[in-house]
Structure 1
């Protein structure tokens, strides 16, 4: 229902939108005359009534009203504080007030959602009239309750361009509030924070520009109220330009009326015009509006009634700020302060500390004629209508089962991710340093200042590139600083995170020490430096040397999610979108914010990014847990990415069945035959793009040692599709063992020597020239008598020799320089024991036949082990995350992070089936679906024929679907403790995991 209000200097005249013909002339005359005054007070504006005043809720309110006596009606205007983290005595005391006096509502403070729900259910059952439950949830329920979500602070939200995100946040906070039994959220804060030293608002404000504050507040308000949770704009008439915290004292505001009208009141007017349900009045002394000494605005009739209700025409609920705050409490006793607030015009008395005294004093005020019972009754009716609107006309107990899960749903977590991402503000980017490029040229250190712990920011950076961690605790001494400076000297890029900052303005410089300032300034002068500030944006003015940094990111607050996304911004997983909502310094002004490219590298998100539900991917968890339970595998890493966004990345189980060490996301697995497409084929495709390798040529073209043998004329087209008549494999190790089981003297030794320098396994070394014997055995081996498909390792064992002949470079060095380093895929390596602790390397088989030990840190495959762990068919180790980078290079036909590492068309050509018409489903090196649509095939039933990938003997699997832009990696060690364990194949876990993704996509509306 709309009403039109004409604002004049001393009152508001309100007329119904529907007018009769008779009063039309009168309306026109009044409108014409009143226009003379409009310039003094504003403009005519259509004003939407608060939603509970549209007449729909009058009947219930009236029926309840007539069941109450005058004292009970007074009690309806009282809202008492409660805590769900206090003892039973506290709970019982609240219960007593509910039953004895029939208070109108409760505001909950600290505690937990389940405990609070039990209290709400008890109190509601004890109440004669349902209680209005409220909470301060400016950034969600997490502002007050543990185990619940925390959305970004309003200051961070003020830098977001997209108000729809704030509407969605308001809607989600409303959903969570209703699920928790809460009806009123005392948000948004509409104070315009134009005082950087404000000790109480600051980060709680959307910023210092009135239009921006109004737009953000309006979106937040509508999101809540469209979902029947009452919003409450605070703190009227504007707490943004104060230097006293009203929790501890009474701020005095010396603004002119014109200033208040043009600035502070602006967002309140905008929200009132759109149907704002309630307003909270601040505790401030404002002489220009009421010159009574030491009188808070909450207790001022000229402010609450004269300005808010009459002049501004506000008809919604008016709440006081908490009446136990020192801004009012130090001047008046409990009971007296409440009655003064009521007389001022407030409807609901928040945090009444003495209910009995308050009711007594209000009765006395009625008897003295200071307020009438009729005025009390009008306010009570308004409260009751609001109660009906929020659903209290049909109250249902809060269901505590699954409450925690329901308050932390994946879709809300994804919304939170989007809000944080949109808020991150790039304030400096000299020479377009960000997103970081040419990772192969960078030596990166990640320095966390203000903490002595490894941070989520540092861990996030490590997903993208090799990064060394350093810390600068606030109490760092001079000697440690000297060492740190020396250590950082070997890096050409330092990524600094500033942590542990105070969130409120004060005298402590936000926790920034002089030592931190001196060090950071010197660091920025000596190094390329990117600084990310995880704290109050106003702290930027107190941090020295930022103008010398090559990159600067304002992250607004310190949370794991904020740090995670900031690390993604630096490497281009996401882009920079935010803008400063306040003026920080002459160099950092309101509106500043540089755009940067997103989607440059893999980002880390959720299934909800593509309309899928995280719950629909829980089947992956079930499948992997079943595999572990059935002892098909001890543990695994699983990664799924769509369109360059990692939407699922988890580690499961343990390294071995002794359950001593859980699998972590940065642990390295033996990839077995995935080595073929990650090393040999990767090199061939890279060389193909350089014109140095042609699949139509023969093995003899590139490898002199095969000339004159039966392998010389084998075409690579046939070799890579496994139809070159090569034997499947040769058990090279068997020729090293005597019948007694002992090694022949010229093959293996327990200690490393000059003649036996090559490590095969722990305490086992092979003769330095034994590799030549292996190559000779391959060259001497007969070809299969019949043509056709036979999967073979032999050509891939020779592949490093081919690459080295073509390039003149070491095989791994070539891969590292041309592919792995540019990708930032440092964990893709041979012989990981040389560079990683065994605690990060997942063990494979207990080899009872050849090496007689648990294989840990060395390759499982016997032939690769005898070649020193380096081969083209097996031997590569790495994480799912780094392997996914290489697979994305293949998905995007040789391009990743803006770099073309493989020539266009090469990957797409190599991944196509060459001899499908002959029954050979293989591509050049890649595996393809052998039975498309068959759930028992080598690929997921829903995987298209164009998809490709490879499997590995140790239990590994990777698959690429170019049609749906999917990358899938499954790493496990199914061969532990024995290769005879084939349950992983029998259960078909690896392809079923990918099929679960397709089912989730189908649920989201993607077509197969």
Structure 2
């Protein structure tokens, strides 16, 4: 099916991994980047058959959903039918509906579509009824990068099982701004070396499974306090700083053979002095730095062209034309793809981009389709789809990743001394009902009582609980952020935060923080706890990992991937004896 494949040359271990992960296609023997230097008759033949309009359309990827109703789905189908765009980017919906709709859309395309998604933590980032792997911030704590490689393989298998071939991941931004509103927990952390290593492991796992990957957001969106979905952030740093810090993970990813890089919407005066110009529209940044200086030969993808970070100052498709001229190979989510095609064709006629350069970009997109095996496209088999993508091995891998990430910041002596028979208070904060953390611990600590504290518990209730806790020998606390997006600061009342400080001062208190690690900085006094676990996110697999540590079934190996405050800095993590 896919070119350059031959089982005879696959190492037995790799073959076993592919079979066990359910990867239906054989692994490419030539990387996408390597394949670009080879003559390709299919690519040349398809290019010659396309009209001038259709050649431009191959550079555009349009938005698709399966949760917006039939009328919306049909409207996307009409765009595909009339414009013959190069690809789709699926957002919210369900896996079965998406697979079925993908089959419908592919029938409308003269050249098979590349189906892309944002899957930084797998299909679960966009689709219901699917597995969510840990956030990249959680993965940043893991010391065994082979686990992240395995995650990449499983993500690739799940993408391909539903008919998707390109993941807009990994995020390779160095998140050195705790208040970053848009990257933050999506980053592997604030250490550029760790970000590069983790991102490359994830990328290589996905590419080994036949998926196109896209490192984002070049040249680095980690040190901003503006969300480019809402406005245009500015990176006011020197060229030296940008070269040595922000660009480092991308340079390493290029050297490791990443297939794609996504450009951020940011104004960067040190790299391009044009006022209010987003990097997505900058020829010096995309062509001058990324393509020429860094030598990147793969797919250059714009961030979504509908975002206010680009449309605020360049409306009415001016952004699309400028992004094309700047050097992007794929324009993602134009506000109006039909208008964009017309204006880009006009720019080509005016020689704003050399003819040979335009031809090379279209053929690069077609070469990506060939590498993916779309020259022999087969519809998605929708039978047993849910069972295949929600397989036991993938679920076990999620728990394995959580176990490897949980980080003990202090208190190995206290945890080793916990007695399952002593009177133990099990407190969950930020919730209004019993948590899996409490339920699991309740089976181990047989003489325990559960408590829960809402985000704005009345002071009178707090005082009553504190009075009742005087008879307990041990206090085990879970701090939970129940929001969909784990922010850097907890949305607790001041009184609840003061309660956490008071509870932490109890002589035998263990605290697990099921939230963004940056939230620890907003809880003064928590450092006094006898034991403190960073658990990164609210999910049950992290609650299970903390339970294993507290009950001495697991020796934590995670290391903090960011510096939180003076007490807890990057790389901290106690190894239990």
- Pair in the same fold by TM > 0.5: yes
1:276 to 255, 258, 274: 258
1:567 to 547, 559, 562: 547
Residue 424 and residue 363 in structure 1: after superposition, are their counterparts in 2 closer, same or farther (change >3 A)? same
Q: Does 1:490 align with 2:471?
A: yes
Q: Which runs of 5+ in 1 are unaligned?
A: 1-47, 598-1008
Residue matched to 2:437: 457
Aligned counterparts of 2:392 and 2:31: Cα–Cα separation in 1: 35
- For 1:509-528, list aligned pairs within 5 A: 509-528=489-508
Secondary structure of the 1:446 match is: strand
1:511 deviates by 1.1
Residue matched to 1:112: 94
Residue matched to 2:451: 470
1:590 to 570, 573, 577: 570
Aligned counterparts of 1:480 and 1:531: Cα–Cα separation in 2: 21
Residue matched to 1:581: 561
- For 1:655-804, list aligned pairs within 5 A: none
Residue 269 and residue 50 in structure 1: after superposition, are their counterparts in 2 closer, same or farther (change >3 A)? farther
Residue 54 and residue 328 in structure 1: after superposition, are their counterparts in 2 closer, same or farther (change >3 A)? closer
1:54 deviates by 4.8
Aligned counterparts of 1:402 and 1:214: Cα–Cα separation in 2: 37
Residue 167 and residue 57 in structure 1: after superposition, are their counterparts in 2 closer, same or farther (change >3 A)? farther
Aligned counterparts of 1:341 and 1:73: Cα–Cα separation in 2: 16
Query: Aligned residue pairs: how many?
Result: 547
Q: Is the 8 A contact 1:503 1:510 kept in 2?
A: no
1:369 deviates by 1.9
**TM-score, normalising length: structure 1:** 0.53
Secondary structure of the 1:235 match is: strand
More helix by share: 2
Aligned counterparts of 2:482 and 2:439: Cα–Cα separation in 1: 20
Residue 334 and residue 510 in structure 1: after superposition, are their counterparts in 2 closer, same or farther (change >3 A)? farther
Aligned counterparts of 1:373 and 1:336: Cα–Cα separation in 2: 20
Q: Is the 8 A contact 1:52 1:385 kept in 2?
A: no
Residue 150 and residue 250 in structure 1: after superposition, are their counterparts in 2 closer, same or farther (change >3 A)? same
Q: Does 1:537 align with 2:535?
A: no
Q: Is the 8 A contact 1:504 1:510 kept in 2?
A: no
Q: Does 1:331 align with 2:313?
A: yes
Q: Is the 8 A contact 1:83 1:111 kept in 2?
A: yes
Aligned counterparts of 1:435 and 1:75: Cα–Cα separation in 2: 63
1:244 to 226, 230, 235: 226
Aligned counterparts of 2:96 and 2:416: Cα–Cα separation in 1: 44
Aligned counterparts of 2:236 and 2:484: Cα–Cα separation in 1: 26
Q: Does 1:166 align with 2:148?
A: yes
1:556 to 502, 518, 536: 536
Q: Is the 8 A contact 2:32 2:368 kept in 1?
A: no
Q: Is the 8 A contact 1:280 1:320 kept in 2?
A: yes
Secondary structure of the 2:262 match is: strand
1:405 deviates by 1.0
Aligned counterparts of 1:524 and 1:332: Cα–Cα separation in 2: 52
Q: Is the 8 A contact 2:36 2:364 kept in 1?
A: no
Residue 298 and residue 54 in structure 1: after superposition, are their counterparts in 2 closer, same or farther (change >3 A)? closer
1:500 to 470, 481, 486: 481
Residue 505 and residue 114 in structure 1: after superposition, are their counterparts in 2 closer, same or farther (change >3 A)? closer
Aligned counterparts of 2:416 and 2:72: Cα–Cα separation in 1: 54
Q: Does 1:61 align with 2:62?
A: no
Residue matched to 1:957: none
Residue 66 and residue 436 in structure 1: after superposition, are their counterparts in 2 closer, same or farther (change >3 A)? farther
Aligned counterparts of 1:295 and 1:510: Cα–Cα separation in 2: 34
Secondary structure of the 1:93 match is: helix
Residue matched to 2:10: none
Q: Which runs of 5+ in 2 are unaligned?
A: 1-29
Q: Is the 8 A contact 2:65 2:92 kept in 1?
A: yes
Q: Does 1:256 align with 2:238?
A: yes
Aligned counterparts of 2:203 and 2:217: Cα–Cα separation in 1: 14
- For 1:608-627, list aligned pairs within 5 A: none
Residue matched to 1:202: 184
1:50 deviates by 4.1
Residue 503 and residue 119 in structure 1: after superposition, are their counterparts in 2 closer, same or farther (change >3 A)? closer
Secondary structure of the 1:433 match is: helix
Runs of 4+ in 1 over 3 A off after TM superposition: 48-52, 54-57, 435-438, 501-506
Q: Does 1:439 align with 2:420?
A: yes
Q: Does 1:139 align with 2:100?
A: no
Question: Residues 277-299 of structure 1: CA distance to partner in whole angstroms, max 9, x if unpaired?
Answer: 00000000000111111110000
Aligned counterparts of 2:576 and 2:66: Cα–Cα separation in 1: 45
1:59 deviates by 2.1
Aligned counterparts of 1:510 and 1:327: Cα–Cα separation in 2: 27
1:333 deviates by 2.4
1:103 deviates by 0.3
- For 1:570-969, list aligned pairs within 5 A: 570-596=550-576
Residue matched to 1:230: 212
- Comparing 545-554 with 51-60, greater Cα deviation is found at 51-60
Residue 78 and residue 54 in structure 1: after superposition, are their counterparts in 2 closer, same or farther (change >3 A)? closer
Question: Residues 156-196 of structure 1: CA distance to partner in whole angstroms, max 9, x if unpaired?
Answer: 11111101001000011000000011111011011011111
Secondary structure of the 2:142 match is: coil
* More RCO (CA 8 Å, sep 6+): 2
